[in-house]
């Protein structure tokens, strides 16, 4: 069990700030999905064009997974997230001032630049500020806040649209992002020892920092990229389904089942709340298995496989019913199982390459980011060609089964070692 501290510790506050960041970034990236019917009506977009708008975010997001992770390893999480936050907040506000499909595409494109480095950078921060046996929980709870952002965004955006308009909703959400950026820069320190509120008891629980870690050696790309490739492919298989949920779910209920925008938002929120539970539970279970067995394969791989196969089974049920309530329950179950994957898989880069945690997690998240490019566009194209709103989930089922198989090739129990030239004589590199 995870002990609940009697006071708010500095590591606890850092984790809370990261939770808020995950919440805000997901609000800012999925708000367009809720506003999509209004945006499409005003700009005259087809489903394929709307899918292109959804994917605009993902092009720079994919690239900056890797670049941003390396930036975090070199510059630290404080400065990297400050710069990223300014960019994503400004682009969210700019979305409220778009005049057509081109400017909307550019606004979402710039948002991808700002948010591309955020999760790898957050992992870099967790590597320093979270104890090893709580990594699954930390990754699970931060992503649970992301899914909470998914869940509350539809009703919040619908309310703001009703009161002010869809353009004004983006401006207000962007201002909230700016507020987080200021608090983060004031409070956070890259080295816990430099924080005024840190105690020796806190430091004793955190990973030791040595001179070699402070020296920030260059990233061994030639060896790290192939080492992380199985993790990247596994995460691509996860990300394909994730981005279908995030971008298309409100429109799925509205156009696929004839609901008005208010009810489609409520149905989408219900599905996303299942992900909040899945994220938290997956991380807790993974950490508990690790404490009991000391086996990283069982703690990470087994939970990931169970989650992916469970999600595939639930999505398969969509092809055997047209009843709306059952469809919503199957989608909720699918999202719950899908999100069990998050805590353990985001711990894997920290297990494999702790000294390059930002870069390694960026390489992993490139898989999901690439899925974010092709998955929403493919969904819209299939719907336009067939008129079938369930058929695109067939690809999700196949990729989830593939991902469960690929999880056996990740091997988090085999730590990535440094270049031979930096190792003591007689110590072999991986």
**Would you tell me how many other CB atoms lie within 10 Å of the CB of residue 391?**
15
pLDDT exceeding 90 applies to what percent of the chain?
A: 32
- The pLDDT of residue 210 is 52
d(CA 357, CA 201): 24
Q: Can you give the pLDDT at residue 423?
A: 44
Which residues have a Cβ under 8 Å from the Cβ of 326 and sit 6 or more positions away? 317
Burial of 58 (0-12, 13-18, 19+ CB in 10 A): buried
Calpha distance 123→131 (Å, rounded): 12
Reading the block at residue 56, the tokens are 């605009």
Shortest CA distance to 363 belongs to which of 214, 212, 163, 224? 224
Q: What is the pLDDT of residues 14-46, one digit of tens each?
A: 999 999 999 998 888 778 877 888 888 888 777
Q: 10: pLDDT confidence band, cut at 50, 70 and 90? A: confident
All domains of the chain, ordered by start, with CATH?
Answer: 10-193+219-415 (1.20.1250.20)
Helix axes 303-316, 221-257, angle to 10 degrees: 30
pLDDT at 1 over 50: no
Span 318-327, pLDDT tens digits: 999 888 889 8
Placement of tokens 């090739």 in the chain: 409
Confidence of residue 401 (pLDDT cuts 50, 70, 90): very high
pLDDT at residue 425 above 50?
Answer: no
Spatial CA neighbour of 28 closest among 106, 95, 102, 78: 95
Which pLDDT tens digit goes with each residue over 33-81? Answer: 778 888 888 887 777 777 788 778 878 888 887 787 778 778 888 999 9
Residue that has been written with the tokens 């398969």 in this structure: 316
Which of the given ranges, 173-182, 214-223, 245-254, has the highest pLDDT on average? Answer: 173-182
Q: Who contacts 314 (Cβ-Cβ below 8 Å, separation ≥6)?
A: 330, 331, 333, 334, 337
Q: To which residue do tokens 């056996």 refer?
A: 408
Other CB atoms within 10 Å distance of the CB of residue 175: 12
Locate the DSSP E strands across 131-261.
Answer: none
Q: If you write DSSP's letter for every residue of 46-94 in order, what string do you get?
A: -HHHHHHHHHHTHHHHHHHHHHHHHHHHHH-HHHHHHHHHHHHHHHHHH
385, containing H or E segment: helix 357-386
pTM of the model: 0.73
For residue 3, what pLDDT is reported?
Answer: 45
| 356 CB-near residues (< 8 Å, 6+ apart) | 73, 219, 220, 224, 416
Say which DSSP state 416 is in: P
Q: Where does the pLDDT of residue 409 fall: very low under 50, low under 70, confident under 90, or very high at 90 and above?
A: very high
Tokens 């207000």 sit at which residue? 172
3-class secondary-structure state, position 219: coil
Collapsing DSSP states into helix, strand and coil, what is residue 354? helix
Token digits of residue 142:
């931060």
82-108, pLDDT tens digit by residue?
Answer: 999 999 999 999 988 988 888 889 998
- Per residue in 121-130, pLDDT (tens digit) is 888 888 888 8
Position 7 scores a pLDDT of 63
Confidence of residue 239 (pLDDT cuts 50, 70, 90): very high
């Amino acid at each position: 069990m995870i002990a609940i501290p009697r006071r708010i510790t500095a590591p606890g506050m850092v984790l809370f700030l990261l939770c808020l960041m995950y919440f805000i970034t997901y609000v800012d990236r999925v708000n367009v999905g809720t506003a999509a019917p209004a945006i499409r009506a005003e700009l005259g977009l087809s489903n394929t064009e709307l899918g292109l708008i959804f994917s605009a975010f993902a092009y720079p997001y994919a690239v900056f997974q890797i670049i941003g992770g390396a930036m975090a390893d070199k510059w630290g999480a404080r400065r990297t997230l400050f710069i990223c936050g300014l960019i994503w907040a400004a682009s969210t506000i700019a979305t409220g001032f778009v005049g057509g499909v081109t400017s909307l595409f550019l606004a979402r494109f710039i948002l991808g630049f700002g948010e591309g480095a955020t999760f790898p950078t957050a992992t870099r921060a967790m590597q320093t500020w979270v104890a090893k046996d709580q990594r699954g929980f930390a990754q699970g709870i931060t992503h649970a806040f992301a899914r909470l952002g998914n869940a509350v965004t539809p009703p919040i955006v619908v309310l703001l649209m009703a009161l002010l308009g869809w353009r004004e909703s983006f401006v207000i959400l962007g201002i909230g992002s700016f507020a987080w950026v200021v608090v983060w820069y004031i409070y956070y320190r890259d080295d816990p020892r430099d924080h005024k509120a840190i105690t020796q008891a806190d430091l004793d629980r955190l990973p030791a920092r040595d001179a070699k870690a402070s020296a920030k050696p260059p990233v061994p790309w030639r060896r790290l990229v192939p080492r992380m490739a199985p993790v990247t492919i596994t995460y691509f298989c996860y990300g394909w389904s994730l981005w279908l949920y995030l971008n298309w779910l409100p429109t799925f209920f509205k156009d696929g089942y004839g609901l008005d925008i208010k009810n489609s938002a409520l149905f989408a929120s219900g599905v996303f709340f299942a992900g909040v539970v899945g994220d938290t539970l997956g991380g807790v279970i993974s950490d508990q298995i690790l404490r009991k067995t000391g086996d990283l394969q069982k703690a990470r791989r087994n939970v990931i496989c169970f989650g992916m196969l469970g999600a595939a089974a639930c999505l398969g049920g969509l092809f055997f019913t047209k009843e709306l309530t059952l469809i919503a329950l199957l989608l909720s179950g699918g999202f719950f199982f899908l999100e069990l994957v998050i805590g353990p898989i985001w711990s894997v880069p920290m297990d494999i390459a702790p000294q390059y945690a930002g870069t390694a997690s960026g390489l992993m998240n490139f898989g999901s980011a690439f899925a974010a490019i092709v998955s929403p566009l493919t969904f819209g194209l299939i719907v336009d060609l067939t008129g079938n709103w369930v058929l695109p989930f067939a690809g999700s089922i196949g990729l989830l089964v593939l991902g469960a198989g690929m999880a056996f090739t990740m091997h988090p129990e085999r730590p990535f070692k440094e270049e031979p030239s930096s190792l003591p004589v007689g110590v072999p590199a991986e």
